[in-house]
Structures are given as structure tokens and as C-alpha cells.
Amino acid sequence: MDFDLLRFAAGYPYNLDFDYGALSQLQHFSINNLGDPFIESNYGVHSRQFEVGVLDWFARLWEIERDEYWGYITNCGTEGNLHGILMGREVFPDGILYASRESHYSVFKAARMYRMECVKVDCLTSGEIDCSDLKKQLLANKDKPAILNVNIGTTVKGAVDDLDLVIKTLEENGFPQDRFYIHCDGALFGLMMPFVKRAPKVSFKKPIGSVSVSGHKFVGCPMPCGVQLTRMSHIKVLSSNVEYLASRDATIMGSRNGHAPIFLWYTLNKKGYKGFQKEVQKCLRNAHYLKDKLRDAGISAMLNELSSTVVFERPHDEEFVRRWQLACQGNIAHVVVMPNVTIEKLDGFLEELAEKRKLWYKGSGGDGVAPSPPCVAVDIGSENCDCGLHK
């Protein structure tokens, strides 16, 4: 298997940048961060200093003071969503959860786990939340507080919900700041967005309650992990019922992998803000290259402005899909352009796809028997569709 292809799938890297020589020695130790990173534990082999260092880094990135945030390094993006949405429910026990249809499935799983009323909001073709539908849904449920999941990069299309417009929609429709809670699911793009020029800011200076991001995608940690940050004032709500919980531990998992914080800390400090900025710019440039080349070749494709996820027609052949580790949904597939995906790699992919399409769609449009490229207008808009009808 060509491991370099893996980032094609969903942003999971085979990371070439780590100095494993030194770090791999860590595997000799059972490092376990038990419970709350800010509360001392009796277990001696932990990496809480690194964990707090990583959290401080993200606190600076998302603009919240050190003494005003609480957070921890999670096992994955899903745990961040589970925590953020639980936080919202604890702040507003009778709140309704609003999430766009293209939100990650863990959001709807959380609603079921937590026995929350959940409203699915429509999306624009881009995959962004449709704020006119959000308005309609909010007005239909004016009597209950709103808990919102805002996507900073949806799973399939990499769409970034317009946080400012979501806040405006809330405030203009009878939901002042003390009647809503916003969790930002930043799985992949939560870390990339801050380095994109002109991108709307994810910031705790805005009335948001929590942000989560994956650590094993763009950052490239070799084990699944994530970062979850929220406001100290919210966590107090969760931790208040100590007698009931029999613990001051406000995390979801009790034991947490202690290696992940060290890998994260190492990468964040080695690359630095400047290093990430450079990598993000490269990803966006290469994603544009891929999208343009696809369109030039007459292949349906879309790229959201703030994203490095290129969405295109699902390849006809499952063998091709497997070989290139493409994630598919219905008639579309996507490539998440991560730092290790080079122009050369993309050229190889484009060339092979063009060759294969000639075989798959040979004689298409003629006798009506040979298969034609799928119409994906409903998925990515007719302006991006190159099917027989829309080209």
C-alpha cells in the first residue's frame, strides 16, 4: 500500500515529520493522564505538563485567557463533540440541539445518548448550514434555549458554517446570548482556519461555548486524539454536582492516552504558527490545482473557498476507490488535500482517473447502454456538474 495516499481518504496522515528515533522510546512507558488535566492525580507517569502546554497553545489560537478556559486532550474528534454538546445540555437542560444535516454523525449520536430534542437544519449546496432554515426552526421553538453545533469544515464537503451569521440569526430571532450555547466542531479545519487569510475567525471573543479539533488529522499525531476547549464558567456547571458524580473529573473518558499530548506538543512547537501557516497555504493551493484540473478534464468537481477538501464525481470502479483510499457518499467522492499530497501525486491521480474514465464511459451517450458519468448537480450544484445534462 502506498501510505502517502492515506491523506486522500479523510485527512489521516502517515506522518513523515516526527523524529521517531527519540519519541518511540516513550512507548516503553504506560503514560496515562487520569481525569481532569488540572487536578493532580496519584498516578505518577503522566504527561499533564505537555497536555496543559498544548491546551495553552490552542487557547492563544482561539483567543481565550489562560485562567478563563478549561479543556483536555481527547481520544478523538467524536469525544470533543460529545463533551461540547454535553456542556451545552448542562448549561441549558431543556435546550434543543440544532445541527445541519451534514454535521458529523457523532452529533446526532450525542443527542440520542443525552436524550436531547434534536432539530436537523437544511444545508446549502456548499454544505454550509442554511441560516434561513435555521431561522424558521428557531422561530418554531422559541420557548426553549438553543444549543448549536456549528461545523468548521463538514466531513464530506469541508464546508465551513458561517459562525457570524449563525450568531446574528440567533440574536435577531429572540435568542440573546443567555439563551444559546454554540459548540464548534472543528474536526479537521479548526486548526487550519486560523491560518487562512480572510477566513472568519473561530474565537472565544465571540459568544461560543466550546471548540473541538482532531489531533490526528492536520497535526498528524500517530494515534487518534483531539483537543477540546471550553469556558471555565461552563465547566463549573458540570463539576458542581460532585457528590452525584463522586468525582471532580469533568472529562468524558477517565483514563487518557498520555503519549498523544507529547506528540502534539512536539509538533506544535517544532512547526510553530509560521510552519502551520505555510502548510495550510500549500494545502489550499494544491486543492485548487486539483479542482481546476478536474474541471479542465470535464469532471464534475467542487471546492469550498475555505477548504482543502475537493469533492468530485464518484469513480465508477470500486477498485479505483480502494486503491486511492477515497471516501464516498452517494454519487460523490472527496480528496482531503493534506501537506503530504504533492502536485506530482495529484498529477498521477488525475492521469489515472482520466485513463480509467475513458474505459468506464466508453461509448457513453451513444447507445444509451454504456454507463455515463453520474449527475451530481444536487450534491455540488449544476454549475459544478459536468454530466450530460449540465455540461
Among all residues, which ones are annotated catalytic?
307
Q: How far is the CB of 25 from a copy of itself (least distance, A)?
A: 8
CB–CB of 136/168 below 8 Å? no
Give the neighbor-by-neighbor strand order of the sheet with 327-329. 301-303, 309-313, 332-336, 327-329
Residue 13 binds a copy of itself (CB under 8 A): yes
Cα distance between residue 17 and residue 378, in whole Å: 40
Query: Residue 15 or 384: which CB sits closer to a copy of itself?
Result: 15
Of 62-70, 156-164, 240-248, 364-372: span binding a copy of itself (CB under 8 A): 240-248
Residue 327 binds a copy of itself (CB under 8 A): yes
Q: Find, among 202, 182, 207, the residue nearest to 192 by Cα.
A: 202
CB–CB of 32/258 below 8 Å? yes
Residue 23 binds a copy of itself (CB under 8 A): yes
Of the candidate residues 52, 61, 78, 286, the single one contacting a copy of itself (CB under 8 A): 78
Query: Residue 244 or 366: which CB sits closer to a copy of itself?
Result: 244
Q: How far is the CB of 108 from a copy of itself (least distance, A)?
A: 5
Residue 22 binds a copy of itself (CB under 8 A): no
CA angle 259–61–87, rounded 5-degree value: 75
Residue 14 binds a copy of itself (CB under 8 A): yes
Residue 105 binds a copy of itself (CB under 8 A): yes
CA angle 288–211–111, rounded 5-degree value: 105
The residue ranges of DSSP E strands in the chain, in sequence order, are 32-34, 69-74, 96-100, 118-121, 146-151, 180-185, 210-214, 226-231, 255-257, 301-303, 309-313, 327-329, 332-336
Of 239-247, 277-285, 335-343, 345-353: span binding a copy of itself (CB under 8 A): 239-247
CB–CB of 97/117 below 8 Å? yes
Task: Please work out the total of residues on this chain that contact a copy of itself, with binding judged by CB under 8 A.
Answer: 64
Q: Which residue in this structure is represented by grid cell 498521477?
A: 348
Q: Which of residues 114-143 bind a copy of itself (CB under 8 A)?
A: 114-115
Cα distance between residue 267 and residue 178, in whole Å: 38
**Residues interacting with a copy of itself, by CB under 8 A?**
1, 3, 6, 9-10, 12-15, 20, 23-24, 27-32, 42-45, 75-79, 82, 86, 104-106, 108-109, 112-115, 214, 216, 220-224, 241, 244-247, 249, 252-257, 259, 321-322, 325-328
